[in-house]
Amino acid sequence: MKANWIAAALITGAATAAHAQQTVFMPIVIEVSGNGAVSGTNFRDGALMAIDEINAKGGILKRKINAPVSDTQSNAAISRAQVQKAIDGDPYVILGPVFSGSVKVNMQLAQQAEVPQIVGAEAAEITQMGNPYVFRTSFGQQMSMPKMAAFVANGMKAKTVAFLWVNNDYGKGGRDVFFKEMAARNIKIVADVSTESGQVDFAADIVKMKASNADVMFIYTNEEECARVLREARKQGVKQPIIGETNVVSQKVIDLAGETAEGAKGHVGLTADAPIPAVQAFTDKFQKRYKYVPDHNGLKGYMGVYAVKYATEKLGKFDRKALAKSLHGMTITPAQEPGILIETTWDDKGDIDRISFLVEVVKGRQKVVEILPKLGK
């Protein structure tokens, strides 16, 4: 009887080991609920779509991707616990999170375990802390804010700006870079309005912005809050142009804010409405599968998975350290890997460089006004 039990345990163990060898573990640690749910679900859905496509074609190096999703609840402490749990499962890479505050507290864990982490975060300092295992899927603020500042100075011809920002790592990081850029261009910040993550009432904040008589209003907060700001701005009859970096013109904000988003302008690193056939094909596929238009985070999740696939296949083996090393300085073109959609380069810090877009909200969609070249070109 005892021998039977031992045999059963051995068979089960062998089967589990065989399954583990047939799959590659790439957990998604992401904001499925809480204030970051909009960003997180887009990132997750994009990543899962890429994973299903890759698995349908046999996986990476003939191993299918196993990507369970765990929810950080948009909470930095919970994200750290979830990343620890993911590391305990011996992952090849970790996908996510998106919130900068969460990435800042959990990236050391991935670094200590030498697990590459493909994140959606944008706070400038994330890639300036010497972590060789963290890789962005979008511009850091040090890359995007100069583009936005140039747009304020040259495109909008503004002399004064009212700046509304969210008081978290993402907001503070963006504010610091933007203020530096404005000072360099001799543009005055006439209202510096700090708001809270999850805030619902922006009446007083818009009163302050309006009272400043700034040439433009710059909104730098998370998606849901952006939508509430736009609705409040319309309620108060704001006449100044409303601009922002990525979120304020993202598709989710447009959907939530409705007609009040019309005319908002901004810079986006990625857009589902980019006039690029591969991106449009992605958007169609995504919309068909999930019944909503993806925002930039959907693209980030999708391209992040394909970057891992391409780099791994180039290495010819599953080696976390080698993967991290090879991604630094790597350029992936759509000709090499169609899933990357747009030519993308990672520098020695894990920062990304690719073309980007100036957009305006027209009839409920992003309309690309100008394509900005890669910084490295």
> Under the rule (CB under 8 A), what is the footprint of another protein?
32-34, 37-38, 41, 167, 193-196, 198, 200-201, 203-205, 207-208, 224, 227-228, 231-232, 234-237, 252, 255-260
Three-state DSSP class for residue 101? helix
- Cβ at position 181, least distance to another protein in Å: 24
Token pair of 59 as six digits: 């996986």
Calculate the alpha carbon distances from 289 to 46, 50, 235, 292 in Å.
10, 12, 35, 8
Angle, vertex CA 309, rays to CA 307 and CA 313, nearest 5: 120
- Residue whose CB is less far from another protein, 223 or 353: 223
Calculate the alpha carbon distances from 145 to 67, 142, 171, 222, 372 in Å.
33, 6, 12, 16, 13
- Residue whose CB is less far from another protein, 66 or 260: 260
- Residue whose CB is less far from another protein, 231 or 349: 231
Angle, vertex CA 101, rays to CA 99 and CA 105, nearest 5: 120
- Residue whose CB is less far from another protein, 152 or 166: 166
Which residues share a beta bridge with 45?
A: none
- Residue whose CB is less far from another protein, 73 or 131: 73
- Cβ at position 38, least distance to another protein in Å: 5
- Cβ at position 326, least distance to another protein in Å: 36
- Cβ at position 276, least distance to another protein in Å: 27
- Cβ at position 169, least distance to another protein in Å: 16
- Cβ at position 238, least distance to another protein in Å: 9
Token pair of 166 as six digits: 């969210």
Q: Which residues, including other chains, have CB under 8 Å from residue 264's CB and lie 6 or more apart?
A: 230, 242, 243, 244, 248, 249, 360, 361
- Residue whose CB is less far from another protein, 11 or 207: 207
